[in-house]
Homo-oligomer: A and B are copies of this chain.
Amino acid sequence: MSDSGRRRYTVIGMGAVGGYYGARLAAAGHRVRFVARSDAEHVRAVGLRVESPGGDLLLHPDDDAIEVHRDTTGLEPDDVVLVAVKTTDADEAARLLAPVVGEGTVVVALQNGLLVEQTLAEAAPGATVLGGMCFVCINKIGPGHVRHLDFGTVTLGEHVAGDEPAGVTPAVDAVAADLEAAGVPARRIADLATGRWRKLVWNIPYNGLSVVLDAGTDELMADPATRALVADLMREVVAAAASCGHPIDEGFVDEMLTTTEAMTPYAPSMKLDFDAGRPLELDAIYATPVAVAAAAGFAMVRTEALHRQLRFLEARARRR
C-alpha cells in the first residue's frame, strides 16, 4: 500500500486491455507500473495515450504516477498484479509474474478463456488469484496508444482450486472498488467458473467466425444465416457449461445477441490478432473448453468444427 493509502498496481502487458485499465487506475491516483516489452521506449518518450468516450488520457512517466519497465527482474512485489498478456504467452507471463508476487499480492487474470487462473496460480503459489473478464470494445492502434470504443465492465471473481464458488471475497471487493473509483464499472461475482463460461458464450462464436468469415460483429448479426449460427454456438456453450456444473440462466443468449447488435461495429480480438499475423488464443478459448466439456461427457460439436477451421487458417498464415 502506498503512502496515499491507495493500492499499487503492476500491469503485465501493454496491449489494449493492460493499457486501458492501467491508465484508468493511474489517472485515479494509483501508482501503476507497466511491464511492456516493445512499447517501453515509446511510452517513456511520448507517454501512454487513451482515447475514450469516457475521457481521453495522456499519462507520462515524468509527470504522472506511472512507471514503465521492460522486465520484472529486480522489481519489488506489488499489492495487485494485473496479467494482461495473451494466453499464447503463458510461459513468459509466468516468468514475469514471479518477482512481483509477495505475501498478500492479489493477481488478476485479465485474460480470455478457460483455466487461465489455474495457470497463474501455479506460477505464483500462495498468491490470491482473481479472474477478471472485460466486456469492452477496445483496440490498440499503435505503440502506447489505445482506443476505447464502447463498454468496459470488468467482472471479477476469486479462483479456488476445484472451481467451487468462492463467494465475493475481500480481494474481489478491493479490486472492484478501485476500478469503480477509477470510473470503470465492476461486477463482483461469487462463482468465477460460471463467469468464465458466460464469457465464452460471447467469445466462442464471435472470435472464431470473425476470423473464418473475415467479418465484424455487425456483418455476422445482419445476416440471418450467421446470426442463427452465432445463436447455435452460444446455446452449445451454455449446454456445455451446464454439463460441467456451471448452469447459465435462460435468457443469457438472447441478452448477448441483443447487446452485440446494439454495439458499435467491432472486430473481436482474435480477428485483430489474425489480421496482424499474431498467434491466436485457440487453446484458451477453444481447445480447453472443448476438452473440459468432453471430460464431463458433453461434445461441443459446432465449437470443435470452428476450432478446426481456425487451426487450419492459423497454420496456413504461419507458413505464408
Contact = CB atoms under 8 A, between A and B. Distances in A.
A164 interface: no
Contacts of A232: 304-305
Instruction: Name the residue in A219, A228, A301, A308 with the highest tally of chain B Cβ atoms < 10 Å from its Cβ.
Output: A308
A225 B315 contact: yes
- Chain A contact residues: over half helix, strand or loop, or mixed? helix
A6 interface: no
Given A212-B212, A219-B316, A226 B308 contact: yes
Question: How many identical subunits does the complex contain?
Answer: 2
Contact of A312 (B225, B308, B315): B225
Contacts of A302: 301-302, 305
A215 B209 CA distance: 17
A220 B219 CA distance: 26
A209 B228 CA distance: 19
A309 interface: yes
Interface string A228-239: 110011000000
Task: Sort chain A's interface into a size bin.
Answer: 20 to 34
A313 interface: yes
A223 interface: yes
Contacts of A311: 223, 225-226
Contact of A213 (B209, B229, B307, B309): B309
Interface in A212-270: 212-213, 215, 219-220, 223, 225-226, 228-229, 232-233
30 contacts: A212-B212, A212-B213, A212-B309, A213-B312, A213-B313, A215-B312, A215-B316, A219-B312, A219-B316, A220-B312, A223-B312, A225-B307, A225-B308, A225-B309, A225-B311, A225-B312, A225-B315, A226-B308, A226-B309, A226-B311, A228-B308, A229-B305, A229-B308, A229-B309, A232-B305, A233-B305, A301-B301, A301-B302, A302-B302, A305-B306
Given A213-B312, A225-B311, 12 more contacts: A212-B212, A219-B312, A223-B311, A223-B315, A223-B316, A225-B315, A226-B309, A229-B305, A229-B309, A232-B304, A233-B305, A301-B301
Interface of A: 209, 212-213, 215, 219-220, 223, 225-226, 228-229, 232-233, 301-302, 304-309, 311-313, 315-316
